[in-house]
Amino acid sequence: MENTEPKKFSIQKEIVGGLTTFVTMSYIMFVNPSILGDAGVPFNQVFMATIIATVVGTLVMGLYAKYPIAIAPGMGMNAYFAYSIVSADKGLDYKTAFATVFVAGLLFVILSLTPLRKKLIEAIPSSLKYAITAGIGLFIAFIGMRLSGLIQAHESNFVALGDLHSPSVILTMIGLLVTLILYTLRVPGSIFIGMVITGIIAYFTGQLKFEGFVSVPQMPELMITNPIASFGDIVSHGLYAAVFSFLLITLFDTTGTVLGLAKQADLMEGDHLPRSERALFSDAIGTLVGSIFGTSPTSAYIESSSGIAAGARTGIAAVVVALLFALSAFFSPLVGAVSNVAAITAPALIIVGSLMISQVRFLKWDNFAESFPAFLVILTMPLTSSIATGMALGFIFYPIMKLVAREGKEVHPLIYVFGFLFLLQLVFFPH
């Protein structure tokens, strides 16, 4: 029988750990509405969807998987939804686009309940996993700089430095500097605190205006995506790559994050994580519920490490996080005002991007057959503003490079299948 007894348990530490995790990751309430708002999703819709998806996913993680890990809409995937799926297809509205999130979530639920999830994770080369994370990091950092005006469009060079004298850019640089100092000093919740300080400066310089702070939560539109029509929407708009991208990213991103956090909390049994399928299921449910109400896929949050460092070891900490997010639903006017000022949220995007690109240190740069496909992924994601395109090129070139290097036997058969499918997608369904 599986041992589910908590290790180093203390109710006080669980509460403190949950509070610490909440403060550290609470920036998502401000950033997610800001990004998805560019896709046309109404603020109240995405704000409440963010709260609901986070509460549901984190509660399932705490009560069912019993781990001190929080679930919330993932950074990078929200940008992919807004700028690569909706904005790239002028005939696609955000409600139809949420069909990709719903189907990916449904497939993720199915995978989390079957042994196939393990085979799929093992099939994907580590170099591509690291590259995808790093590429997404560059992508969201680029978005943060662009939205704040730190960089801007240029006629001949495509991208150039923005106007350093503009109030938005000055505020962004101040916010970035303040947050970097806090983060370097390892202040808990540094990204959130940095946003608070930047917001105060924005308020006194007239860039931030409030029309209230507290209000009764308004339930978002239910069933923003029609589950029955979702599959038809994907076929009619050729959104296969988007579904596949969401599925793969959530699958191995959550798996990698959960394993890393479990090791930190000393919850592993050798190389095995008890109840790992429950942890994946928690994320899958969060994604599925979020798609119905109007937000991008959820993911396990690495910021949970701050709560673990504070002593969290059980699902009680996750329950505390969920309850605090539920209470945050009463502060929509405050969140709405802050999310409308790009200079406040941009530093968070830039810093999170820098943390994600650190994965490049694990790449085998001396093995060209491994490093070049990874390089393509990292390079093309921000340049094409498409996570799917970067993934496609990586999966296409990886097996080709391995075959040329006479290392084709090292490639899992599924990768050849993925490469072929991505090639068909780029040729016939470019997005």
DSSP 70-128: -EEEPTTHHHIIIIIIITT-TT--HHHHHHHHHHHHHHHHHHHTSTHHHHHHHHS-HHH
Output the pLDDT for position 231.
86
Output the pLDDT for position 229.
82
Asked if residue 344 belongs to a domain, the reply is: yes
Asked if residue 196 belongs to a domain, the reply is: yes
Give which of 382, 319, 370 is closest to 127, Cα–Cα. Answer: 370
Alpha carbon dihedral 381, 395, 233, 299, in 10-degree steps, equals -70
Please give the single-letter amino acid code of residue 304.
S
Asked if residue 2 belongs to a domain, the reply is: no
Query: Mind listing the pLDDT tens digit for each residue in 282-295?
Result: 999 999 999 999 99
pLDDT at 77 over 70: yes
What's the chain's Rg over C-alpha atoms?
21
pLDDT at 330 over 60: yes
Asked if residue 3 belongs to a domain, the reply is: no
pLDDT at 33 over 60: yes
pLDDT at 13 over 70: yes
Here the tokens at position 212 are: 């209230």
Output the pLDDT for position 28.
93
Q: Which residues of 338-362 are buried (b: 16+ CB within 10 A; e: fewer)?
A: bbbbbbbbbbbbbbbbeebbebbee
**Strand ranges in 3-95 using DSSP code E only, listed in sequence order:** 71-73
Asked if residue 68 belongs to a domain, the reply is: yes
Cα separation, 158 vs 148, whole angstroms:
17
pLDDT at 3 over 60: no
Query: Mind listing the pLDDT tens digit for each residue in 48-61?
Result: 999 999 999 999 99
Q: Report the domain count for the chain.
A: 1
| pTM for the structure as a whole | 0.81
pLDDT at 37 over 80: yes
Please give the single-letter amino acid code of residue 278.
R
- 34 to 73, 261, 348, 351, 403: CA distances (angstroms): 13, 28, 12, 16, 44
Query: Mind listing the pLDDT tens digit for each residue in 157-201?
Result: 788 999 999 999 999 999 999 999 999 998 888 888 998 999 999
Cα separation, 301 vs 393, whole angstroms:
27
pLDDT at 315 over 50: yes
Asked if residue 382 belongs to a domain, the reply is: yes
Dihedral sign computed on CA atoms, order 204, 207, 211, 216: negative
Asked if residue 164 belongs to a domain, the reply is: yes
Asked if residue 5 belongs to a domain, the reply is: no
Cα separation, 410 vs 407, whole angstroms:
6
- 50 to 34, 92, 121, 342: CA distances (angstroms): 12, 22, 27, 19
Query: Mind listing the pLDDT tens digit for each residue in 196-237?
Result: 999 999 999 999 988 878 888 887 776 677 777 888 889 888
Give which of 72, 333, 64 is closest to 217, Cα–Cα. Answer: 333
For the chain, the farthest-separated pair of C-alpha atoms sits apart, in whole angstroms, at 66
- Enclosing domain of residue 31: 11-212+224-428
Query: Mind listing the pLDDT tens digit for each residue in 368-390?
Result: 999 999 999 999 988 887 777 88
Parallel/antiparallel/unpaired status of strands 151-154 and 158-161:
antiparallel
Output the pLDDT for position 404.
95
Output the pLDDT for position 223.
65
pLDDT at 430 over 80: no
